[in-house]
Amino acid sequence: MKIDDLEQMESEDLRTLSSAERRRFLKFGLAVTGMYLGGSVLSLTSAQTVLAAGVVPELGKYAYTPHYSMVLREKLCIDCERCKDACVKTNHVPAYGFRTTILEKRRSLGGDNFETTFMPVLCNHCNRPPCVRVCPTTATWKDEKTGIVVMNPSRCIGCKTCMTACPYNARYFKEETRAVDKCDFCFEAKLSKGETTTACVEACPADVRVFGDLADPKSRVYQLVHSPETMVWVLRPETGAVPNVFYINS
Amino acid sequence: MKKILLLMVVGVFLFSGALLSASGDVQVADDYDEDTYGPKDPIIWVKPVKSVVFHHKTHTMDAGLDCDSCHDELFAMEAGAAEENEDFTMATLYEGGYCGACHDGSTAFASNTRCTTCHIGVRGHARLLGDDGSAAKGH
């Protein structure tokens, strides 16, 4: 194209834009902004009804049969760590990792006095497990029947994304298998062989840990979390993972 | 004039330093007498469960008990003798044995309450030994 021809062409600069065209563009921009703004305002306000429902599901709203769950009667824990020892022995847990452990809270009673509370922690076998969602090789999943979050070590590539995603720090990388390892409610070691409880529950001398089928109204776990005047809580409910490990104080 | 100012400033520093170090020393003078009040170091039992602590100071110097309040009827003088007994359990305590003689809910808090006051656990034991356990807990 020659310079002469170019000079003959119509200008494409802003002066030639019609007012109507500008308005159409602005309207489109505002509509997009409004969509996003409206969405975030809605997401901020709708949380109230979710929180009011509490952490304990109603009967008939359990997704699995049996719906395995653990109740921890927290104030009875004395950190004797027999549960840890039993878990290590049963599930061949190396010294650098854990499937369950005991955390410690200290509250001042004034002066030099403290009250200690020991908090047993383990995999919460969440109904919406963040670890399962992030696994790129589906090496971890929620068992369709029992709801236990299980691992297939041979499919694990050791990317450790699940370890980052877990709100409960319940996973560790096991050097021996070159795979991530975690609590499976003793499914492999005990439940699949016909036993009805986990190693940690068996070992606890203070009856802190209670394991069972939450969907069965006759089970002890069901009765504990549904008994009146009982404070029931879960760890980190704000993550939306819907955990199946409940803590009570009675 | 400058020298006087400098001297004053140095003087203030020295004085406040002396004050601070003196206030730290006050607590060191301890009137705890092992012959009257029993061993200063805590007793730690690891059987039948890890780990339970007993402070002589809390019971003798603070609570005003005598040695023969507990020795030798409830506890032998010999360290670690109680935990060798088969009946050194919470069940015995509830029946008034060992600590349960006083820890019955009327003389002192009941044995089946305030568990972690005495049960310091593996973590509490490690802390008493001066090891916070952080090295082993890496994860």
Would residue B14 be called left, alpha or beta, if left means φ above 0 and alpha means ψ between -120 and 50 degrees?
alpha
Inform me whether the pLDDT recorded for A1 exceeds 90: no
Is the same domain home to A59 and A25?
no
- pLDDT tens digit sequence for A161-191: 999 999 999 999 999 999 999 999 999 999 9
Inform me whether the pLDDT recorded for A8 exceeds 80: yes
Is the same domain home to A16 and A93?
no
- What per-residue confidence (pLDDT) applies to A30? 95
Please choose, from the candidates A182, A191, A240, the residue with its C-alpha nearest in 3D space to the C-alpha of residue A211: A191
Beta carbons of B48 and A205 less than 8 Å apart = yes
Is the same domain home to A26 and A134?
no
Comparing CB atoms, the residue among B48, B51, B124 nearest residue A116 is B124
Q: Which domain holds residue A32?
A: 3-45
Inform me whether the pLDDT recorded for A15 exceeds 90: no
DSSP state of B71: B
Say which residues have a Cβ less than 8 Å from residue A128's Cβ, sequence separation at least 6.
A240, A241, A242
- What per-residue confidence (pLDDT) applies to B139? 47
Q: Please tell me the number of Cα atoms within 13 Å of A129 on its side-chain side.
A: 25
In chain A, how many domains are there? Answer: 2
The low-confidence residues of chain B, meaning pLDDT below 50, are 26-29, 133-139
Interface size, chain A vs chain B, as Cβ–Cβ contacts under 8 Å:
53
Q: What is the DSSP pairing of strand A68-73 with strand A245-248? A: parallel
Q: Which amino acid is at A74?
A: E
- The chain-wide mean pLDDT, for chain A, equals 90
Q: What number of helices (H) and strands (E) belong to chain A?
A: 8, 10
Question: Confidence class of residue A53 from pLDDT cuts 50, 70 and 90?
Answer: low
Is the same domain home to A78 and A15?
no
Shortest Cα distance, chain B CAs vs residue A89, angstroms? 18
CATH number of the domain bearing residue A227: 3.30.70.20
Domain borders along chain B are 1-27, 34-128
Cis peptide bond prior to A143, omega within 30° of 0: no
**B50 contact A CB<8A:** yes
User: Does the reported pTM lie above 0.80?
Assistant: no
Say which residues have a Cβ less than 8 Å from residue A212's Cβ, sequence separation at least 6.
A66, A68, A69, A197, A219, A220, A221, A222
Is the same domain home to A41 and A143?
no
CA pair distance A232, A220, nearest whole angstrom:
14
Instruction: Identify the closest residue of chain B to A84 by CA–CA distance.
Output: B122
Shortest Cα distance, chain A CAs vs residue B8, angstroms? 39
Instruction: Identify the closest residue of chain A to B132 by CA–CA distance.
Output: A104
CA pair distance A245, A151, nearest whole angstrom:
19
CA pair distance A118, A107, nearest whole angstrom:
11
Is the same domain home to A34 and A110?
no
CA pair distance B125, B53, nearest whole angstrom:
8
Comparing CB atoms, the residue among B51, B116, B136 nearest residue A118 is B116
In percent, the amount of chain A with pLDDT more than 70 equals 96
Is the same domain home to A34 and A117?
no
Q: Which residues of A134-154 are buried (b: 16+ CB within 10 A; e: fewer)?
A: ebeeebbbbeeebbbbbbeee
Interface test with B, best of A118, A121, A123, A166 (most B CBs within 10 A): A118
Shortest Cα distance, chain B CAs vs residue A107, angstroms? 12
Q: Which amino acid is at A30?
A: L
**A206 contact B CB<8A:** yes
- What per-residue confidence (pLDDT) applies to B136? 45
**B57 contact A CB<8A:** no
- pLDDT tens digit sequence for A201-216: 999 999 999 999 999 9
CATH number listed for the domain at residues B34-128: 3.90.10.10
Task: Pick the more confident residue, B27 or A234.
Answer: A234
DSSP state of B75: B
Evaluate whether ipTM surpasses 0.85: no
Comparing CB atoms, the residue among A79, A97, A115 nearest residue B121 is A79
State the Rg of chain A over Cα: 27
Is the same domain home to A25 and A116?
no
